[in-house]
Homo-oligomer: A and B are copies of this chain.
């Protein structure tokens, strides 16, 4: 295959297979070329990925040597994206009864969701993560976006056991905002013992939901490596119970009467 064609095929391959170690002989045989040519292709792709800010190629030499695409976008580009998101969230038309913000339009846009996933994946790209865990419903698209860049599966914690998932482990926890006792369920089959987990959710107030997830994950002897929330907001009645987390957006004040929202960038950008 000619260099130009190889570059298109290889670019597609890397983008579809992030964080996957692939040995050189695979490319040599697939692209019908030499190791030296593949190596030059990698140099070109690596340079463009870096200048486009979409990550880089990590190479290992020697026997079993190969290459891995690390989809870590440069901080500057992530910052621009998060700032744009912040501006969109500032719109007073988003204020809903109860001091909530309407975000379904942003969370419904696959491109925005993918970009949010890219920001989290950039922050967590060097970590040892086996699985992304989220809770139904709103965290689901974000979790898949992060997982697709980290190249790991997604496990969804539910608030009600589903007949179609077999036997399950459940816990009860107290929700921060409603003070009600709630349930969380994870099918036994869905998570292997001792998994290294990244928790992703859309919104965090006091952190009761995330504490619930951590407790449930303890039943599987899982290790929580990272916690990422799209937006955090202060809870007036309760202090935050989670302190080691990554947020993209921080909502510090929603004034229903004056129709004003105070939206900042989250701790990842500070």
Measured CB to CB, the residues of A under 8 A from B are: 3-5, 7-9, 11-12, 15-16, 44-45, 47-49, 52, 54, 96-98, 100-105, 108-111, 113-114, 136-137, 140-141, 144, 147-148, 151-156, 158, 163-166, 187, 189-190, 203
B108 touching A156, Cβ below 8 Å: yes
- Give the residue of B47, B54, B96 whose beta carbon is less than 8 angstroms from that of A12: B54
Q: How far is the CB of A174 from chain B (nearest CB, A)?
A: 18
In the assembled complex, the CB of A152 is this many whole angstroms from the nearest CB of chain B, namely 8
B45 near A96: Cβ-Cβ < 8 Å? no
Question: Is A153 in contact with B15, judged by CB distance below 8 angstroms?
Answer: no
**Distance of A200 Cα from B2 Cα, bound (Å):** 40
Name A189's contact: one of B12, B102, B114, B190 (CB within 8 Å).
Answer: B102
| Residues in B whose Cβ lies below 8 Å from that of A102 | 164-166, 189
Q: How far is the CA of A5 from the CA of B51 in the complex (A)?
A: 10
A6 to chain B, nearest CB (A): 9
Residue contact B156 to A137, C-beta cutoff 8 Å: yes
Q: Report chain B residues within 8 Å CB of A110.
A: 144, 147-148, 151-154
**Which residue of the partner chain, among B7, B49, B104, contacts A190 with CB atoms under 8 Å?**
B104
Alpha-carbon distance A131/B226, docked complex (angstroms): 33
Expressed in whole angstroms, the Cα–Cα distance for A163 and B100 within the complex equals 8
Report which of B4, B96, B111 forms a contact with A7, defined as CB distance below 8 A.
B4
CB of B8 within 8 A of CB of A45, answer: yes
